[in-house]
Amino acid sequence: MRIMAQTAMVMALDKCIGCHTCSVTCKQAWTNRAGTEYVWFNNVETRPGQGYPRRYEDQEKWKGGWELNGRGKLKLKAGGRLAKLFGIFASPVQPELNDYYEPWTYDYENLINAPAGKDFPVARPKSLITGENMNITWSANWDDDLGGSRRTDQQDPVLQKLRSEAEVKVKADFDNTFMFYLPRICEHCLNPSCMASCPSGAIYKREEDGIVLVDQDRCRGWRQCVTGCPYKKMYFNHRSGKAEKCTFCYPRIEVGIPTVCAETCVGRLRYIGIFLYDADRVTEAASTPNVQDLYEAQLDLMMDPNDPDVIAGARAEGIPEDWLDAARRSPVYAMAKVFRVALPLHPEYRTMPMVWYVPPLSPIVDVLNEQGHDGESADNLFGAIEALRIPVEYLAELFTAGDTDLVTGVLRKLAAMRAYMRDITLGDAPDEKIAADVGMTGEQIVAMYRLMAVAKYEERYVIPSAHLEDAHNLEEIGCSLDVEGGPGMGQTGVFGEASGRPTPVAVENFEALQARQRGEDPTGNGNLGGRVNLLNWDGRGSPRGLFPANNNRGAADADASAGKGAVYDQAEGNGPASDAGGQEGHEPPSSGPGVRS
């Protein structure tokens, strides 16, 4: 047994509203560079749909992931080592730009520079690849919300597989009743096939937290990882000639902050925590003969963080105590193994993916509501889960290699949670039979409800930071943002105003956010940290903190702003202001006594 720690994510799909905030913030953070225009470390797919790149799930074509050879041993679906080397000069099955889309910008300059004329100037789309005018025919998200699905639904590989069995039913049903969103990042697999495909050995899994990264200095652009990854989350930067992938925002994770996609998720559907797993048994688990047993095999690798043997094993491997503590509080462990509601995406690829999904119950609730039934009654829901075969089968193709019983089991738990908690919310006595029906206790259901529905920030993200004694290793403290034109620029003065190392931006933002989310004052007004908030100023008097206050003046302000003043005063008294203010570190010494005291 060799215990290792793995940073992992769970996404509760019921809460995803398909707003793409995660994709946009991720892109702004990581892939807004030339060469990565078409690269989406995070994307949100509408299912049923083709996904990104188009039809990436069709492994008969793309040859991603692993398969078992005749002797039951794992082998790369795209071929063994020799075959890979012989195919190196022209990767046999690499997606082309057309399988993604041709990135473009608009000729905005024309709006300003066009000569006066009788026609209104337009900003034509220009290809970012050739610079020529182009027609936009596809993008990262062209079939969003089933857009154009009459034409493109034939292309969904998962649906195609189901079709052969239930042609008519799918056609009739899914347009109205069956749609959900699937946000995807790199799976940071335990048995990554991208890594196994890399001829240079440039892709590695970090021992400390299991994050899979590409060493940009060792990548030689052989492109085999693009073929190897069955999720097609390996991208080729066509400008630098190197592979790039989702980094799990490791500079943030190292300082205990959730990834950008998770932090900005408006649906609060992402959970980040760690697993302790047995690294010695990964290959064995991934070699499980029956694809439908892979889920259980993967779950078996996840060790119980409360088990004394596991704790001893983890200590022997040098996993620090706070990581063990985080493992015990891990939301991903709770959802995957304790409640058993989180499932891996496409376990049949045999990569042991570490981004898990709680399948959505919403398609079924929607059907019930539309048909005039009570979509929150346990009996209705249980019945509907059994009856609505197509959504369940579709979900099973995604998450359990086609095992519908597993998906049904999870959906029944989610249904039970709804029904059980409704009774409590309405003030009725909860029906313990509902809990018992899904093999849970009422207490467990309440705990699951707290984690999944209340979903407090501290409970969603339990991220132990990298160790202080390692602090000098951390990427961001090495000023990774201190590039020309970057936010760190201008901080080079030796003894000037900005002398010394800047506070990493992510840490500063994080502190501010924490203060906002944990404080009693959601607007953050009690917590200005030396800044002045004019948004809530009604124009009367002067906003707090604008002028250095003296005692007389403070009293006058309170009088002037009448009723509102009292609220502010209260907030001042209650808020945990002094701590946060002190940490910011660059407020002028003369900011108001209300903040400082």
Q: Which residues bind to other proteins, rule: CB under 8 A?
A: 32-34, 37, 81-82, 84-85, 88-92, 94, 96-97, 105, 128-132, 191-192, 195-196, 198-201, 203-209, 216-223, 236-242, 254, 282, 466, 470, 472-475, 477-480, 482-486
**What type of residue sits at position 464?**
P
What the block records as the tokens of 562 is 């009448």
Q: Least CB distance from residue 337 to other proteins, whole Å?
A: 23
Taking the CA atoms of residue 474, residue 479, residue 484 and residue 488 in that order, the dihedral angle to the nearest 10 degrees is: 130
Q: Least CB distance from residue 513 to other proteins, whole Å?
A: 22
Comparing CB distances to other proteins, the nearer of 37 and 403 is 37
Comparing CB distances to other proteins, the nearer of 52 and 394 is 52
Do 43 and 141 contact (CB within 8 A), yes or no?
yes
- Give the residue from 340, 323, 322 showing the smallest Cα distance to 332: 340
Lay out the sheet containing 270-278: strands in order across: 302-303, 270-278, 3-12, 355-358, 343-344
**What type of residue sits at position 9?**
M
Comparing CB distances to other proteins, the nearer of 33 and 518 is 33
**Rounded to an integer, what distance in angstroms lies between the CA atom of residue 400 and that of residue 395?**
8
Comparing CB distances to other proteins, the nearer of 120 and 495 is 495
Comparing CB distances to other proteins, the nearer of 170 and 194 is 194
Comparing CB distances to other proteins, the nearer of 228 and 258 is 228
Q: The tokens 């953050």 sit on which residue?
A: 524
**Rounded to an integer, what distance in angstroms lies between the CA atom of residue 154 and that of residue 570?**
61
Q: Least CB distance from residue 278 to other proteins, whole Å?
A: 14
Comparing CB distances to other proteins, the nearer of 317 and 459 is 317
Comparing CB distances to other proteins, the nearer of 210 and 565 is 210
Q: The tokens 């990774």 sit on which residue?
A: 480
What the block records as the tokens of 146 is 């089933």
Q: Least CB distance from residue 330 to other proteins, whole Å?
A: 20
Indicate the angle between helix axes 404-425 and 389-399, nearest 10 degrees.
Answer: 110
Q: Least CB distance from residue 33 to other proteins, whole Å?
A: 5
Q: Least CB distance from residue 547 to other proteins, whole Å?
A: 36
Q: Least CB distance from residue 350 to other proteins, whole Å?
A: 12
Half-sphere exposure in the Cβ direction for 374 (13 Å, CA): 8
Integer CA distances (angstroms), 366 to 352, 359, 377, 385, in order: 32, 15, 13, 12
Do 347 and 401 contact (CB within 8 A), yes or no?
yes
Q: Least CB distance from residue 117 to other proteins, whole Å?
A: 28
